[in-house]
Amino acid sequence: MSAGGGTKAILAALSANAGIALAKFGGFLFTGSSSMLAESVHSLADTSNQGLLLLGKKTSARRPDEEHPFGYGRDRFFYSFIVALLLFSLGSVFALYEGFHKIEHPEPLTSPVVAVVILLIAICLEGYSFRTAIGESRELKGELSWWQFIRQAKTPELPVVLLEDAGALLGLVFALIGVGLAVLTGNPVFDGIGTIAIGLLLGAIAIVLIVETKSLLIGEGATPALRDRIVGELRGGRVRKVIHIRTEYLGPEELLVAAKIALAPALSVAEVAAEIDAAEARVREAVPAARVIYLEPDLDRTEDSEPVPADRT
């Protein structure tokens, strides 16, 4: 991932959505299309969302203080959760309301060509934003599928932007189909149906984001593979095994590690301290995100020196 930690993707989405929102709203004023109005609100919500993501990145960088000794890293999780709520309330609910209203009280479209041109331009701009988000995400994604990346990513901004952009592209297609069918058939009800499709799409995306960001906000631990790597690094020197371990993300790039480790018997206090320092250094070198480590020394009271499986976080 770039040094900006997804900032490039957020800025690309912010600039694209701001321009698209103005263009779509202008198209709605010309055509009276409910799909265009729903897409205008969608783009306006997305623009506000990207602003919130940037705000979360800024506030999360504050230094720890007496009231928040572990810092403010979870601000990024909090603002991503707010973004998911806004996407549902401003995007999905409004689109569903406007779609049903259009079906109940259909009105013919005026200047539909304007709507089609604006939608095509918007697809190009959203495509650029989506491509930027994909490029920013590839390094973090690794060998994971895109769905696995969205489910497991600890950097909340990239999954949010990816899903927003994907939803925006599909929503534009739905709006284009709705407007096109309304023009071809002369029945404006199709415009309302397209608007409802947009609302359902945004609702589904919002629910996924709400579930995932809520999990991060409550506190997620390291993945099993990463936890096993930490356990492997803790064992070494005169550390016989890891009795149990707990991990939790304090922020996207800050992992708390707390473990009880069994040391060889008959060590002096100075030797215990040296072993703990060495174990911490091994973990930090292998897992840079493990910035906060607490190790509790204990004796190996078993004859078998094989490691006890780490508890799941």
Domain extents for the chain? Answer: 7-218, 224-299
Contact 297, 240 (CB under 8 A): no
Residue 133 Cα distances to 1, 77, 106, 146, 209, angstroms: 11, 18, 38, 12, 16
CA atoms within 13 A on the CB side of 104: 6
Residue 78 Cα distances to 73, 161, 196, 256, angstroms: 9, 15, 29, 18
Domain 7-218 and domain 224-299 have a common topology: no
For residue 33, the one-letter residue type is S
* Confidence at 5, pLDDT banded by 50, 70, 90: low
Residue 273 Cα distances to 121, 281, 295, angstroms: 63, 12, 10
| pLDDT score recorded for residue 16 | 80
What mean pLDDT is predicted for residues 83-108? 82
What mean pLDDT is predicted for residues 150-167? 87
More confident residue, 77 or 140: 77
Q: What's the CA dihedral at 75, 79, 84, 87 to 10 degrees?
A: 180
CATH of domain 7-218: 1.20.1510.10
| pLDDT score recorded for residue 232 | 93
Contact 300, 264 (CB under 8 A): yes
| pLDDT score recorded for residue 313 | 41
Contact 87, 159 (CB under 8 A): no
**In sequence order, what are the beta bridge partners of 297?**
261
For 224-299, the fitting CATH number among 3.30.70.20, 3.40.50.2300, 3.30.70.1350, 1.20.120.140 is 3.30.70.1350
**Residue written as tokens 């013919």?**
108
| pLDDT score recorded for residue 308 | 46
| pLDDT score recorded for residue 1 | 39
What mean pLDDT is predicted for residues 58-74? 90
The 10s digit of each residue's pLDDT in 199-254 is: 899 889 889 999 999 999 999 999 999 999 999 999 988 898 999 999 999 998 89
| pLDDT score recorded for residue 305 | 46
- Poorest-confidence range of 7-16, 163-172, 205-214? 7-16
Q: Is the dihedral of CA 46, 96, 85, 206 positive or negative?
A: negative
More confident residue, 47 or 210: 210
- pTM as predicted: 0.76
The 10s digit of each residue's pLDDT in 107-143 is: 777 777 887 888 888 888 888 888 888 888 887 888 8
| pLDDT score recorded for residue 3 | 40
Please say if the pLDDT value at position 309 is more than 60.
Answer: no
The three-state secondary structure class of 307 is coil
- What would the two tokens of residue 109 be? 């479209």
- Poorest-confidence range of 82-91, 93-102, 129-138, 198-207? 82-91
Count of C-beta atoms within a 10 Å radius of residue 293? 20
- What would the two tokens of residue 245 be? 């371990």
Share above pLDDT 70 across residues of the chain, in percent, rounded to a whole number: 93
More confident residue, 302 or 147: 147
* Mean pLDDT, rounded, of the chain: 85
The three-state secondary structure class of 41 is helix
* CA proximity to 47, closest of 79, 88, 5, 12: 12
| pLDDT score recorded for residue 302 | 64
Enter the DSSP assignment of 236. Answer: B
- Poorest-confidence range of 11-25, 28-42, 145-159? 28-42
Residue 50 Cα distances to 57, 108, 169, 210, angstroms: 11, 34, 16, 16
- Poorest-confidence range of 24-33, 207-216, 280-289? 24-33
The secondary structure of 97-165 as a DSSP string is HHHHHHHHS----SSHHHHHHHHHHHHHHHHHHHHHHHHHHHHHHTTS-HHHHHHH-S-THHHHHHHHH
